[in-house]
Structure 1
Amino acid sequence: MRDFYLGGSISEVFEMLPEYRVKKVKLGTREIGLVRIGERIYGFSSFCPHRGASLIQGSINSQGEIICPLHQYRFELKTGQAKAGDCADLQTYPCELSEIGLIITLP
């Protein structure tokens, strides 16, 4: 496991991550997506497990799911569970908001 840090404070993280907008971030050799809903931040693989479409272009619905732009498959941001479509669950990454910014843990 490896931790990555973004921002230097909670307010900096909120400025970097406007609510309900997917942001692409490169951490080491991995590209992930981040999205903020209220004070919760979710990290996930930036590619759909079905056909590899970019989830950075996806949208977020009111149920806290990201919707793949290619086939409209839906994934719960909290767990990565596939909610619509016949494919594997989405890889998610723990994110912790702290006074020193955002801590993202990758395997």
Structure 2
Amino acid sequence: MSKKYTLGANREGAINLLPDGIIKLVQVGSTKVCLVRMAEAVYAFQHLCPHQAASLYEGKVNGMGQVICPLHHYRFDMKTGDVMSGTCPDLKTFPAKLTEEGIVIYI
């Protein structure tokens, strides 16, 4: 069973907390996750690469909705967590969305 967390007090505040295309590292309950907003879509995923535990917070986001690991440049689909290049397990993702109440994440 997942637990619901809300970041920000409202939609505008959430947008200000999470600039478009920037990876933010946040603590949600007892879990650290990376958050990325691309226009109206919000993605939440594990903060360490499943390959060699590099910090994805230090990675980059490309225009195809992928996060790129800073260590070996493996690419992961931020929506599904699927590894798109490289040989390692898929990335764990968490349901997240931008709402009128803020950014809602389910851990």
TM range (shorter): over 0.9
Q: How does 1:24-63 map to 2 (within 5 A)?
A: 24-63=25-64
Whole-Å separation in 1 of the counterparts to 2:50 and 2:35? 17
Letter of the 1:54 counterpart: S
- The runs of at least 4 aligned residues of structure 1 exceeding 6 Å deviation read none
* Identity over aligned pairs, percent: 41
Residue 90 of structure 2 corresponds to residue 92 of structure 1? no
What are structure 2's unaligned runs of at least 5 residues?
none
Aligned residue pair count:
106
Q: TM-score, normalised by structure 2?
A: 0.97
CA RMSD, Structure 1 to Structure 2 (Å): 0.6
Give the distance between the partners of 1:13 and 1:24, measured in 2 at CA.
14
Gaps in structure 1 of 5+ consecutive residues: none
Mean Cα displacement is larger for which, 68-77 or 92-101?
92-101
After TM superposition, the structure 1 = structure 2 runs for residues 10-29 of structure 1, keeping only pairs within 5 Å, are: 10-29=11-30
